[in-house]
Amino acid sequence: MSYTSEELAMLAYVPQMIGSAVAAASGSGLFGTGKELFASASSVLEGVKSFPNNALIKQLVPDPAVDRTKAMEQMKKTRDWAMARIKAKGVDSADKLKTQIIEDTKAAAAILASKASATEADEYRQWAMSVAEKVAKASSEGGFLGFGGEQVTAAEKALIEEIRLALGAAASEIKEDKVTTGDLGPGRKMQPKVGANVKAKATITSRPLLGRKVMITAGPTQEPIDMTHFIVNHSSGEQGYLLAEVAVALGAETVLVSGPVNLPLPPGAQVRMANTASDMLEICEQELPCDIAIFAAAVSKWRMAGSPEKLEVQIGGVRELKLIENPDISKIIATRTDKRPAIVIELTAETADVIETSRKKLLTKSCDLILVHDVGDSSGMFRADSNTLHLISAHQVETWPRLSKREVAQRLMAMLAAKLAPR
């Protein structure tokens, strides 16, 4: 579906001006602080990297990795268009800017509803919201020299929620009269004619995690022994990455905390890389609060005592290594007295006494759920498509059939979304 130049200008303008509106809501002035505006610009540019296959976003912001000059020129062009627009609208205060950006965000949502494919529209909304959230976190408010302040103010949170609702408003009101044959737009399928004035309505009910935040750990951790050797658990990270992909599809703000893996990044997820268990714990704590925390990483249980140093080679000799236990990340998060996620679940593998061992682990870690793979018959390998799975809660054990890793991700995320749904 083609867009008019005015429609493209509006769609390019909204993410940039969302950043300014959030900065203004924080009390940083009509166009925010330098740090917040830099966060806004960098977040807009990240849209291309986060959604490399989104043809609409590519029209709005050229890929800076291909031609950064062209990308910056396009952003300046959009900024000039925005300045002319808000001047024409008489915007001269933070309150007026907020009102105008909500109005224009609804206009952008209407354009998406009428012309964009479902995937393009979803990814555009994620992109725009990532700008709002990154700007809000760019500077602490109310502290002294940036310390001790509230990272995201109540005013910012309120505006972000209004923007989220404005972006999704038109998504539940898409109507097509007299649907017969022909092109319904990229990504949409033609429907057979079933009568006059047929209305095809798309809703956001398939995005039950919209407005929720999900944090997922994945992959192994690496604990250095010296400059060239390390302790590591076996893990491809695939299960965690698939969980992140499904969480994004369900509408969640998704943060993937990943150890070293060789996998493509899941589109739409915020990926934060961690090397050691301590790194992973620190990032997880930074990403709180969240609604769901899924611990799928194969965290090394041990690390070297003291600072790793280069070990001298001893031919035929024995080298003793002093090891200490790593922090238990899921337990630390599950036992927090503040900012504890509503649901904490750990994915694990056991070889013997699977259910009883997992029940004890559930209690000692204070998790809400444990999804355990019975790997007793597969030489300890974590293969979701060939092992029995058990979902352990405080009151029951639910045994799942043998599933592919993608099916595990889909089933688990659907179940977690249902647990958060209002009753």
Neighbours of 119 (CB within 10 A): 17
**DSSP run (H or E) holding 55:** helix 55-60
- Asked about 233 being catalytic, the answer comes back as yes
Report CA 346 to chain centroid distance, whole Å: 18
How far apart are alpha carbons 22 and 233 in whole angstroms? 42
Strand partners, 347: 371
Residue 110: φ, ψ to 5°: -65, -40
Cβ pair 399, 390 in contact under 8 A:
yes
Residue holding tokens 């080679």?
A: 313
DSSP H or E segment with residue 257: strand 253-258
Q: CB-based contacts of 129: which residues, under 8 Å, 6+ apart?
A: 160, 163, 164, 167, 253
Two structure tokens written together for 245 = 């992909």
For residue 231, the cross-strand partners are 223
Place of tokens 């054990």: 397
Tokens of 42: 């960098």
CA distance 79 to 256: 32
Is there a contact between 255 and 269 (Cβ–Cβ < 8 Å)? Answer: yes
Interatomic CA distance for residues 75 and 42, integer angstroms: 11
DSSP-derived 3-state class of residue 372: strand
Give the active site residue among 53, 54, 197, 233.
233
One-letter amino acid for residue 308 of the chain = P
Q: How far apart are CA 257 and CA 244, in angstroms?
A: 10
Residues involved in catalysis: 233
